[in-house]
Amino acid sequence: MSFDVANLAEKLPCFTDHDGQVVLVTGGGSGIGRSIALRLAAEGMKVAICGRNADRLAETVRLLESRGGKAFTCACDVGQPDQVARLMESVVRALGPVDALVHNAMNMSFAGVDDLRLETWEQTFATACRGGYLLARQVVPAMRDKGRGGIVFISSVGAQRAHLPGLPYDAAKAAQESMTRAMAIELAPAGFRVNGVAPGGVRSRDREITEETLRHPHIPLRRSGTPAEIAAVVAFLLSHQSSYITGQTIYADGGTTAQLSPPGIFV
């Protein structure tokens, strides 16, 4: 069944052109970021991960190395220019110039207009947008020199369909998608691509993903997604198989954003 395939996806290499390339995955300590790191390592990439929780990063590295992958980890707040600069220097020393960037780090901040604090708003945008820009600014020169490379921003269905409450998370993700398009157009002549992946409801905290834990009657496919399914889209977008795709955000959401309302409302 589809959820079984999703659980196996990070163990099934599909894109031989990834072999030996260096990728940086932000927010790689858990959930979708961890699964992206595991999948890209399975594809033969040398993986660097960063985040704020050292214990979670260490667990991802343990899982990755237990499967034969190569990994490097560094704690980093991607919204801070000095920390991003140190991160990139460390990654290059450890693994070499970065061939691909996956910006997954995000503050899961959901608040309404009345109770949203300005500090929360600014921190959320700092991670999603300022962090994305700072990271891209660091990796672009090496990609330009090679004439190839890839950047993937992890967005959300909240960029198109509001959560309730959804500020500032939804606003930051919408801004990040706009940045994806603008950056893709600017960098296309240099020979590399910028895209996004927008997950819908993803089940990432269960120790065991089963048909029962994935069941979700309000999603058209009638189930939540898994981190491995999002990671599979990332692997595709960074591969030569997607060579004519840039400036796009792929919605991996089980049909959520295509649906006007949950089943039964207009029946």
pLDDT of 219-246, one tens digit each?
899 898 999 999 999 999 999 999 999 9
Angle between helices 131-146 and 81-95 (to 10 degrees): 40
Supply φ then ψ for residue 51, to 5 degrees. Answer: 180, -170
Residue 71 within any structural domain of the chain: yes
Q: Which residues are catalytic?
A: 169
Position 69 scores a pLDDT of 83
Position 1 scores a pLDDT of 47
Residue 88 within any structural domain of the chain: yes
Position 2 scores a pLDDT of 52
pLDDT (average), residues 21-28: 96
Q: Which residues pair with 23 in a beta bridge?
A: 47, 100
Q: What is the mean pLDDT of the chain?
A: 90
Alpha helices in the chain (DSSP H): 2-8, 31-42, 54-66, 81-95, 118-125, 131-146, 169-187, 211-214, 227-237
Q: Over 60: is that where the pLDDT of 5 sits? A: no
Residue 260 within any structural domain of the chain: no
- Domain containing 189 equals 2-255
From CA 95, how far away is CA 93, in angstroms rounded? 6
Residue 206 within any structural domain of the chain: yes
Position 110 scores a pLDDT of 77
Residue 264 within any structural domain of the chain: no
Position 70 scores a pLDDT of 77
Instruction: Convert the pLDDT of each residue in 126-152 to its tens digit.
Output: 999 999 999 999 999 999 998 889 999
Position 9 scores a pLDDT of 53
Q: What is the CATH classification number for the domain harbouring 186? A: 3.40.50.720
Q: How many domains does the chain have?
A: 1
Residue 207 or 191, more confident: 191
pLDDT (average), residues 202-226: 81
Nearest alpha carbon to residue 108 among 165, 151, 152: 165
Q: Taking the mean position of all CA atoms in its chain, how far away is CA 223?
A: 21
Position 182 scores a pLDDT of 98
- Is pTM beyond 0.85? Reply is yes
Instruction: Convert the pLDDT of each residue in 65-120 to its tens digit.
Output: 898 887 899 999 999 999 999 999 999 999 999 999 999 999 877 788 888 899 99
Position 88 scores a pLDDT of 96
Residue 263 within any structural domain of the chain: no
